[in-house]
Amino acid sequence: MKIAFTTKGEGWDAVIDPRFGRTEFLVILDEESGKLEAIDNSSVSEHAHGAGPMTAQLIIEKDVQILVTGNGPGGNAERVISTAGIKTFTGAGDMTVKQAYEAYKENRLIS
Amino acid sequence: MKIAIASGKGGTGKTFLSTNWAAYMSETTPTVLVDLDVEEPNSGLFIKGDLLYSETAYKQVPDWQKTNCSMCGKCQSVCNYHAVLKVKDAILVFPELCHSCYACSELCPTDSLPMKKNRIGVISHYKFNKLDYVEGRLDIGQEQAVPLISQTNDFPAKHLQNVISICDCPPGTACPAIESVKDADLVILTTEPTPFGLHDLKLMVKSLVILKKKFAVVVNKWGVGNEDVLKYCGSMNIAVIAKIQNDRRIAEEYSKGNLVYNKFDFVRSELDKINNYILNSGESK
Amino acid sequence: MKEIVIISGKGGTGKTSITASFAYLSGENTVLADCDVDASDLHLLLKPETISEEDFLSSYLAVIDYNKCRDCGKCFEVCRFKAVSFDNEKFVINSQNCEGCGYCANICPAKAISLKIQNDGKLYISKTRLNKTFFHAELGPGAENSGKLVAKVKKNAKKYARENNLEIMLVDGSPGIGCPVISSLSGANYVVLVTEPTVSGSHDLKRVIELVQKFKIKMGCIINKADINTALADEIKTFLKDQNIELLAELPCDDVFTEAMIAEKTVAEVSSEMSGKLSQAWNEIINSIRG
């Protein structure tokens, strides 16, 4: 499965960004290959309106099935995410990507 | 006749002036006070009238009908506001982002996006002694003030005859403020005689000159600060039609939500100056 | 890097004057950002020297290429904003009314209409007399998209803070509860609310607290002009306690705010009483974000 994390940086040690739409980076883990892909989301966060749905479309394009984040996506983004059938897990607030992934696997996040 | 009360800087006394002046004027002339600061309508804190009428305000937004939709995605491609998105096998519409341009609806090859009413807020009409008071109140979460400002602005003309409209405008120089002064016969700018007040006044003057609006200045809290505001207005040939003295008692009454024109002679005499300006400038119709 | 944002709900409560004082009281490892882009006044107290500036290209305007235009009037038929009129035997776009929706450009059979991006303001990077770097901007008159400009100012300031290892980003936020405020709040670690004990101030304070609570950010409050209405000030204090919001300071109504403005100085530099109260408030904020 492909899992997207909202982060403040790139790589396994990056700290989770509590926001979704205006998250600074997205780190996408391909569980099959174990590879991480980091995407700079700063151009979306500059938009005054519609940032959430735009970021949502980005992860849909990448065939992501799971989203791990801090506080959770806002209303508009949530509509897009659930329409696309992506499952969201929150509560990863201050964790690193590595810690958040472990928490997800051990069912310690909120779904 | 429509008079808009605006300012660059917040806190310079727009609501203070519009509520007191409108209440004073209504004693002798049919007057309506219109609160166009739809994000934060505060005039009602001072004008405690009886509710006569209330209506929900709407804007038109597209409503997706699945049946005949071919999922061509043309709607998403013509929308400049990211308000229509094609996601998997659904078309999602985001009403707060929609500017009601009708492009997606009218260009849809299968007529699958008819426009429907979407609630944006409420317009209410109150009566306070002889004063009519109309207020637009934007629902929290609605991002665009302009459609509701426009509808509230049009309300008096539809329901009241032969009145003078005094409009309390939103602060600033961005589009909500511009929308609210667009069709005013005269704009009165409130300011305070301080460096911040002067700086923001200059920004507002710039906007009004571009819009070719007639305007004049009222200085509130006169006595604090310095006279730079007067010097500026003098150099630009801008009429300063009243100066309301800074008085702690006014601040105290205002803090409680009370009108002050009926308590202080000096406030009333400044309001008289504004009335005289309106009569003599040949604006009365 | 921690972000402290100062907002007020109602305008005229003293937000910018207090932000300037915090800028003066804060240590060297601070970057400043003025996100009150609609009517930015912070620079009047900081005397910034511009290091660089860039145009804020934001909204779109429809433009007709008359070499291609066939006068068919389709643009006039579809425009919902009364932005197309027939003037002097030509169809013309009214730039005041044009919303940049692009409908006319989409349907013009001669492809004579294009959307051109507009210069809606300016972004500045400056050095202040307090020796701190300052990111600010000014929105052009009548422009929209102030939220977007705010986001740009913050992005630039944040990048600078990261690159220079600065601990604090101090942000003068916008008044109100609309988009520019929401944009100011995004990513904040601590929000300072500046209010006054008046019915308008209290009304707007509650609305803005509701907004910040949605973002789950820690808040503290300064009641300015507290002696104007002590009964209402007490009500506000009770409300703050119920909402678990720190009371950072109560400042008396004082002409020193205006005197400082005219002297182009911050209140903390001009009044020892204000300096004392604001220092205390500042220390509480710092302890809160470090702790």
Tokens of B141: 């979460």
Are B133 and B36 within one domain? yes
Confirm whether C41 is domain-assigned. Answer: yes
How many angstroms away from the CA of B95 is the closest CA of chain A? 10
Question: Chain A contact for B140, CB < 8 A?
Answer: no
Are C196 and C136 within one domain? yes
Are C21 and C38 within one domain? yes
Burial of residue C187, with CB atoms counted within 10 A of its CB: 0-12 exposed, 13-18 middle, 19 or more buried: buried
Domain CATH code at residue B83: 3.30.70.20
Are C39 and C171 within one domain? yes
Q: Beta partners for A16? A: A7
Q: State residue C151's pLDDT score.
A: 87
Q: Which of C179, C187, C216 sits opposite A48 (nearest CB)?
A: C179
Are C40 and C8 within one domain? yes
A63-92 pLDDT, tens digit each = 999 999 998 888 889 999 999 999 999 999
Of the three residues B83, B113, B143, the one that is the final residue of a domain is B113
Question: Chain A contact for C121, CB < 8 A?
Answer: no
Are C43 and C183 within one domain? yes
Mean pLDDT within C49-71: 94
Instruction: Give the C-alpha separation, B159 to A33, whole Å.
Output: 69
Q: Using DSSP, state whether C16 is helix, strand or coil.
A: helix
Are C24 and C153 within one domain? yes
CB contacts, 8 Å: C175 with chain B: 10, 171
Are B166 and B257 within one domain? yes
Instruction: Give the C-alpha separation, A59 to A39, whole Å.
Output: 10
| CA torsion, ordered A6, A8, A13, A15, to nearest 10 deg | -80
Closest-CA residue to C285 (of C171, C165, C190, C174):
C190
Confirm whether C134 is domain-assigned. Answer: yes
Are C167 and C92 within one domain? no
Are B89 and B216 within one domain? no
Chain B: residue whose CA lies nearest to C214: B141
CB contacts, 8 Å: A42 with chain C: 155
Residue with tokens 């998250």: A23
Q: State residue A50's pLDDT score.
A: 83
Are B50 and B163 within one domain? yes
Best mutation site among B18, B38, B40 for testing chain C: the one with the most C CBs within 10 Å?
A: B40
Instruction: Indicate the helix (H) or strand (E) that contains A78.
Output: helix A75-83
Of the three residues C70, C99, C119, the one that is the final residue of a domain is C119
Confirm whether C191 is domain-assigned. Answer: yes
Confirm whether B285 is domain-assigned. Answer: no
Contact state of B143 with A79 under an 8 Å Cβ cutoff = no
B281 band by pLDDT with thresholds 50, 70 and 90 = confident
Q: Are strands B50-62 and B115-128 parallel, antiparallel or unpaired?
A: antiparallel
Best mutation site among C17, C199, C202 for testing chain B: the one with the most B CBs within 10 Å?
A: C199
How many angstroms away from the CA of B24 is the closest CA of chain C? 21
B20-44 pLDDT, tens digit each = 999 999 999 999 999 999 988 889 9
Question: Chain C contact for A106, CB < 8 A?
Answer: no
CB contacts, 8 Å: B147 with chain C: none
CB contacts, 8 Å: B9 with chain C: 11-12, 39, 41
Of the three residues C82, C97, C119, the one that is the final residue of a domain is C119
Q: How many domains does chain C fold into?
A: 2
Tokens of C263: 């002297």
Are B219 and B163 within one domain? yes
Mean pLDDT within A13-17: 93
Are B98 and B185 within one domain? no
Lowest mean pLDDT among B108-122, C7-21, C138-152: C138-152
Contact state of A50 with B90 under an 8 Å Cβ cutoff = no
Report chain A's C-alpha Rg in angstroms.
Answer: 12
Q: State residue B8's pLDDT score.
A: 81
Are C282 and C207 within one domain? yes
The identity of residue B214, as a single letter, is K
B162-190 pLDDT, tens digit each = 899 999 998 888 888 889 999 999 999 99
Are B141 and B7 within one domain? yes
Instruction: Give the C-alpha separation, B48 to B129, whole Å.
Output: 10
Are B48 and B87 within one domain? no
Q: State residue C59's pLDDT score.
A: 87
Contact state of B195 with C264 under an 8 Å Cβ cutoff = yes
Lowest mean pLDDT among B265-274, C90-99, C100-109: C90-99
Are C14 and C88 within one domain? no
Phi, psi of B15 (to 5 degrees): -70, -40
pLDDT at residue C136 is higher than 80: yes
pLDDT at residue B285 is higher than 50: no
Domain CATH code at residue B213: 3.40.50.300
How many angstroms away from the CA of B280 is the closest CA of chain C? 30
Instruction: Give the C-alpha separation, B285 to C55, whole Å.
Output: 44
Q: Yes or no: say if C188 and C220 are a contact pair by the CB < 8 Å rule.
A: no
Are B207 and B102 within one domain? no
Q: Yes or no: say if C132 and C31 are a contact pair by the CB < 8 Å rule.
A: yes
Q: State residue C263's pLDDT score.
A: 92
Tokens of B257: 């939500």
Tokens of C151: 């986001």
Instruction: Indicate the helix (H) or strand (E) that contains C115.
Output: strand C113-127
Domain that holds residue C107: 60-119
Question: Chain A contact for B175, CB < 8 A?
Answer: no
Contact state of B92 with A60 under an 8 Å Cβ cutoff = no
A29-60 pLDDT, tens digit each = 999 999 999 999 988 877 767 889 999 999 99
Domain CATH code at residue C77: 3.30.70.20
Confirm whether B130 is domain-assigned. Answer: yes
Q: State residue C211's pLDDT score.
A: 83
pLDDT at residue C215 is higher than 60: yes
Are C109 and C238 within one domain? no
Tokens of C84: 């197309």
C154-181 pLDDT, tens digit each = 989 999 998 999 999 999 998 877 778 8
B222 band by pLDDT with thresholds 50, 70 and 90 = very high
CB contacts, 8 Å: C157 with chain A: none
Domain that holds residue B105: 64-113
pLDDT at residue C10 is higher than 90: no
Confirm whether B138 is domain-assigned. Answer: yes
Q: At what angle do helices B14-26 and B265-280 cross, to 10 degrees?
A: 80
Are C82 and C19 within one domain? no
pLDDT at residue C216 is higher than 90: no
Question: Chain C contact for A21, CB < 8 A?
Answer: no
pLDDT at residue C83 is higher than 60: yes
Percent of chain C with pLDDT over 90: 74
Q: State residue A48's pLDDT score.
A: 67
Question: Chain B contact for C250, CB < 8 A?
Answer: no
Q: DSSP readout, C217-272?
A: -EEEEEE-SGGG-HHHHHHHHHHHHHTT-EEEEE----THHHHHHHTT--HHHH-H
Best mutation site among A6, A44, A46, A76 for testing chain C: the one with the most C CBs within 10 Å?
A: A46
Tokens of A93: 């607030």
Q: State the alpha helices, DSSP H only, in chain B.
A: 14-26, 74-78, 103-107, 146-159, 175-181, 195-211, 228-235, 248-256, 265-280
Mean pLDDT within C253-261: 92
Contact state of C155 with A46 under an 8 Å Cβ cutoff = yes
Q: Which of A49, A57, A60 sits opposite B143 (nearest CB)?
A: A49
Give the mean pLDDT of chain C. 92
Of the three residues C101, C119, C137, the one that is the final residue of a domain is C119
Instruction: Give the C-alpha separation, B30 to B138, whole Å.
Output: 27
Q: How many domains does chain B fold into?
A: 2
Size of chain B, expressed as the number of residues it contains: 285
Contact state of A49 with B97 under an 8 Å Cβ cutoff = yes
Q: Yes or no: say if B191 and B160 are a contact pair by the CB < 8 Å rule.
A: no
Lowest mean pLDDT among A72-76, B93-97, B196-200: A72-76
Instruction: Give the C-alpha separation, C178 to B176, whole Å.
Output: 11
Question: Chain A contact for B92, CB < 8 A?
Answer: yes
Q: State residue C214's pLDDT score.
A: 81
CB contacts, 8 Å: C203 with chain B: 40, 42, 45
Q: State residue B126's pLDDT score.
A: 97
Percent of chain B with pLDDT over 90: 79
Are B73 and B12 within one domain? no
Confirm whether C141 is domain-assigned. Answer: yes
pLDDT at residue C123 is higher than 70: yes
Are B52 and B98 within one domain? no
Are B142 and B209 within one domain? yes
A90-110 pLDDT, tens digit each = 999 889 999 999 999 999 999
How many angstroms away from the CA of A56 is the closest CA of chain B? 10
Question: Chain A contact for C290, CB < 8 A?
Answer: no
Chains touching C by CB (3 or more pairs below 8 Å): A, B
Are C29 and C143 within one domain? yes
Contact state of B94 with A53 under an 8 Å Cβ cutoff = yes
Q: State residue A59's pLDDT score.
A: 95
Closest-CA residue to B164 (of B12, B275, B280):
B275
